[in-house]
Structure 1
Amino acid sequence: MINTPKPTKLQAIMTLMLTVGITNHVFIIPALLQIAKRDAWVSVILAVIPFALMIGLILFASSRIGTQPLPDWIRYRLGRIPAFLFQCALSLFFFVTAWFSLFDTVMWVKVTFLPYTPLIATSIILMALCLIGALKGMKAITLTSAILLPLVVILGFYVAIVNVEHKDYHLLFPLFEFGWSPVLRGVLYACSGLFELFFILFLHPYLKAPLNKKQMIILAVILFGLTLGPLTGAIVEFNPFEAAIQRYPAYEEWRIAGFGKYVSQTDFFSIYQWLSGSCIRISFALIIIADMWIKRSSRKRSALLVSVAVLLVPLSCYVFTDVMFQHLMIRYIFPANAYFIAFMTLVVFAAALVRTSKKGRSA
């Protein structure tokens, strides 16, 4: 572990912007467009209602947990068996999160930039980078996020501004062409990304103090903007039906962005954005898996991280085709993600309501 002061709250927010932002800004956009088409942006706006409830639950739980490790706090509140089940469920969840992020990133690299490079080569290199970050620890991840994020944000504003000439905001209307059903289904998919604000509870043990109400709301607004911005951009640039059949709409926005008269394409900048988010997200997931079972830096912790990383590589190359993965993602992964995080948040909220005696027994 790097011997540095604890991460600041700003660094924690920047880490969550990369970790959760890659889902909201990239992964979830194709699913939203396929489910709700033109009305996808309305789904995101309606998702504010359940998202606000989620923020309230997280704030309440955070005020009770403080900077205690979440598994230890659950064990103190609910007992060993519930805590063990909690750890198993979250370990599996973050393993799937890491696998999903690795698979989608490797597939994007193959489809867009390296069509003749074997998937296994790309997967090993990317996983090695993420493993190094996980072995260095959360301090290194937060510091790296603070370095990477400013340019990611600048590039995001750049592609949005450069593409203004290609945008037709009339394409956002008319609304409800296919009724309310697709819109309400889209709310679930929007919540799948927004609910990942829950991840902040796993960052708090590394901070001097948890995020306060104002800081949490600022982070929530940023995550909401990271979903709504590229989604509306894809609709007004390509029209909702064309955007819905694109595999990576956020990347396609880079394909039409140029720089002056002599540079017609700047899509290579998307590599920096995408890999920054994916590497931080996968490293974050690996660290949380290790935190569930082994607290301090040790050989056992390193062995666990290496084992998980080695297992993820073949799973990201040989288990599913891209078509199968996309079907799995839209039909199962995103809905399950929303329901699972909502359920776990309710568990943590319920644990926060439990009164404890001075001897540590729950009532």
Structure 2
Amino acid sequence: MSKISISQFFAILLLATGLSNHVLVIPILINAAGRDAWLSVIIGYMVFTIFSPVVLYVLKGINATSVFDWLTTNYSRFLSRVIGLLFLLFFVVAGWITLKETTMWTDETYLFETPNLVIALFLLGTSFYISYGRLNVIAICAGVLLPLVIIFGIFVAIGTIPDKDYMLVTPVLVENTWKDVFRGALFSLGSIIEVALLLLLLQHQVIKRIQFKHMLILILFLCILTAGPLLGSIAAFGVEEAERMRFPAFFQWRILGLGNYFNHLDFLSIYQWLSGNFIRLAATLYILTQILQIHSRAKRIFVQLFICFFYILFTIAPITDEAFFSFLANYYYIGGGILGICIIFILTVLIAIANGRRNKAHAKK
């Protein structure tokens, strides 16, 4: 198994989770907390920072081995499969939401007459092409794509400054209450908890052990990735208009121009979004076969094709945008956050018990 470096792992994490934090969760945050949604982001990420030592404790306890191998060795194969089922539930839903959201966005913004089936097939096909191999293939692709994604993000942030009025972010806590802010924080926390699950599932394939400083850097990047376009959307369009937008981060590209002759630069956002979708779907398909502990390439191809088939079925199903948005706001982020935290706490307890047994065995010797 070819291991990847910390920087390559971060490239995967930033692109895979950045799509959720940078795009998917922003309209939900604005609808939940209005112009105070940036406070929700700060609180959510502060909670995750406080929670991160627990994640590091689990990583240290697993000791650079697969979480499922560790469970099988220290407990039983049955328990390993039960925990694997929880991981499987989380990432199967996350992969479908990624494909569904990107297909809807593509259909509504630049490929109006293209059937959703064709869009979904192309999105899944490119991700599947690199997902059945080794993780380092996904890491190399992420490393190539990420620099331009960051450059374009900085470009749109700076280029739209003349069209923004950050006074629209104020007044603070006048129109909304702390209850609204904390509700938004649940969405923010739910969007970042998958970072912890990715760390648990992929840490044994990283050359160096993940440390607290790595977690802080990652949290800071993702916090900026979420708060930046959120504040920019409110400053550019006002909170009332931003609440009506389905893709407020994307519409910032629509107001970007270079002088009097270069407009419609929103095609650059297509590169950003599809890069995130590409790596996120590829990583999801790869992880699902890791959870199922399938190592044969032929079997992995078969299982991933089976998963892709069901992804396409549910993507082209007649689900309205309103119903899908309601599912994200009412179930996915809160439910996914709760599920992720439960998985981590279960592993924490199991590691503590295993360490206690080991210490007793050494004491008897």
Same fold by TM-score greater than 0.5: yes
Structure 1 contact 194–224 (Cα < 8 Å) conserved: no
> Which of 2, 21, 46 does residue 18 from structure 2 map onto?
21
| AA at the equivalent of 2:179 | S
CA deviation profile, 1:249-275 (whole Å, cap 9, x unmatched): 010011111123311120000110000
1:188 maps to what in 2? 186
What percent identity do the matched residue pairs reach? 31
Pick aligned residue for 2:46 from 31, 44, 49? 49
| SS of residue matched to 2:37 | helix
SS at match of 1:7: coil
Tell me how far apart the structure 1 counterparts of residues 273 and 181 of structure 2 sit (CA, whole Å).
Answer: 28
User: Please, which of 68, 73, 87 is the counterpart of residue 70 of structure 2?
Assistant: 73
Q: Which 10-residue stretch deviates more, 319-328 or 96-105? A: 319-328
| Residue in structure 2 matching 1:83, options 80, 96, 99 | 80
Q: Give the 3-state SS of the residue equivalent to 2:101 in structure 1.
A: helix
Q: After TM superposition, list the pairs within 5 Å mapping 1:58-207 onto structure 2.
A: 58-176=55-173, 177-198=175-196, 199-207=198-206
Find the aligned partners of 1:54 and 1:82 in 2 and give their Cα distance. Answer: 24
Deviations 1:27-51 (A, max 9, x none): 0001001111111011111223321
Query: Cα–Cα, structure 1 residues 297 and 259, in superposed 2: closer, same or farther, change >3 Å?
Result: farther
- Tell me the alpha carbon deviations over residues 49-73 of structure 1, each in whole angstroms, 9 at most, x when there is no partner: 3212221111111122232111222
Deviates more, 1:143-152 or 1:65-74: 65-74
Shifted more, 106-115 versus 207-216: the winner is 207-216
Alpha-carbon separation, structure 1, partners of 2:229 and 2:33: 15
Q: How far apart are 1:237 and its partner, in Å? A: 0.8
Q: Distance in 2 between matches of 1:202 and 1:148?
A: 23
Q: Deviations over 1:86-116 (max 9, x none)?
A: 1112112111110000000000000000111
**Secondary structure of the structure 1 residue equivalent to 2:83:** helix
Residue 17 of structure 1 aligns to a residue in which SS? helix
CA distance in 2, matches of 1:156, 1:312: 29
1:267 — aligned with what? 266
SS at match of 1:83: helix
Deviations 1:285-323 (A, max 9, x none): 111110012342332122111111111111111151222
Residue type of the alignment partner of 1:26: V
Aligned position for 1:336: 335
Q: Distance in 2 between matches of 1:92 and 1:84?
A: 12
Could you tell me whether the CA contact under 8 Å between 2:86 and 2:343 is conserved in 1?
A: no
Q: Distance in 2 between matches of 1:49 and 1:152?
A: 26
> For the residues of structure 2 that align with 1:302 and 1:201, how far apart are their CA atoms?
23
Answer yes or no: is 1:209 the counterpart of 2:235: no
Q: CA RMSD in A?
A: 1.8
The CA deviation at 1:150 is: 0.2
How many angstroms apart in 2 are the aligned matches of 1:277 and 1:187? 23
Secondary structure of the 2:132 match is: helix
Query: Could you tell me whether the CA contact under 8 Å between 2:256 and 2:265 is conserved in 1?
Result: yes
User: SS of 2:354's equivalent?
Assistant: coil
**8 Å CA contact 1:67, 1:208 repeated in 2:** no
Q: Which stretch has the larger CA shift, 8-17 or 254-263?
A: 254-263
Counterpart-to-counterpart distance in 2, 1:303 and 1:67: 28
Give the match for residue 6 of structure 2.
9
Task: Name the CA distance, whole Å, in 2 between partners of 1:141 and 1:150.
Answer: 15
Other-structure match for 2:306: 307
Task: Quote the Cα distance in structure 2 between the aligned partners of 1:348 and 1:153.
Answer: 34
Whether the aligned pair in 1 keeps the contact of 2:18 and 2:222 (CA below 8 Å) is yes
Aligned mates of 2:148, 2:290 — CA distance in 1:
30
User: What is the SS of the residue equivalent to 1:195?
Assistant: helix
Corresponding residue SS for 1:136: coil
Contact residue 61 and residue 349 of structure 1 kept, 8 A: yes
Residue ranges of structure 1 left out of the alignment (5+ in a row): none
* Aligned-partner Cα distance in 1 for 2:148–2:63: 32
Distance 1:79 1:169, change over 3 A: same
The offset of 1:9, in angstroms, is 0.7
Paired letter, 1:154: I
Query: What does the per-residue CA deviation read over 1:130-159, in whole Å, with 9 as the maximum and x for residues that have no partner?
Result: 111211231111110000000000000000
**Secondary structure in structure 1 of the residue aligned to 2:160:** helix
- Tell me the equivalent position of 1:34: 31
- For 1:253, the equivalent position in structure 2 comes to 252
Equivalent-residue separation in structure 1 for 2:253 and 2:147 (angstroms): 18
